[in-house]
């Protein structure tokens, strides 16, 4: 590799070249049938994804923010609830908490690490939910 060669920060082209024909065909079908707004194409995706996840059901939503919000709502989280999370997260985490009417509360983390640690949970917090992303679970479970 020469000094003039560079590694792209985020290459969204290369991984999709191999799938171009399949993705284009699906996109055209969705475009011509409005299949991206409910209907058989979305139902097929939900069923396939549920099977892939070994789950009984899957529900397609438009964003990760909505996925987090609906998961919190399914747990009964709402006004008056406190949801603990870490400060080193994408804004969608706290946005989803706020959209339910709950209040996000940040818990501490060890200096130099981005993982949540058990000792930062204080008894007076009384949360109904501890919202962590998968990368934080390892440290919590120790």
pLDDT at 9: 79
Task: Please state the length of the chain.
Answer: 142
Tally of CB atoms within 10 A around 110: 12
Per-residue pLDDT of the chain in tens (142 residues, 90 and over written 9): 565 677 777 888 888 898 999 999 989 998 898 887 888 888 999 999 999 999 999 999 989 899 999 989 998 989 988 888 877 778 888 999 999 999 888 876 655 555 555 555 555 555 565 555 544 444 444 4
């Amino acid at each position: 590799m020469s000094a003039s060669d560079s590694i792209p920060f985020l290459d969204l082209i290369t991984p999709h070249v191999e799938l171009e024909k399949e993705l284009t065909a699906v996109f055209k079908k969705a475009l011509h049938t409005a299949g991206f707004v409910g209907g058989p194409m979305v139902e097929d995706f939900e069923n396939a994804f549920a099977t892939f996840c070994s789950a009984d059901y899957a529900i397609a939503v438009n964003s990760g923010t909505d996925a987090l919000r609906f998961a919190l709502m399914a747990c009964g989280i709402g006004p008056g609830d406190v949801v603990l999370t870490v400060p080193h997260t994408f804004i969608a985490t706290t946005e989803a908490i706020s959209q339910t009417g709950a209040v996000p509360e940040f818990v501490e983390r060890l200096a130099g690490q981005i993982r949540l640690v058990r000792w930062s949970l204080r008894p007076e917090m009384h949360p109904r939910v501890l919202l962590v992303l998968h990368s934080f679970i390892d440290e919590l479970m120790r």
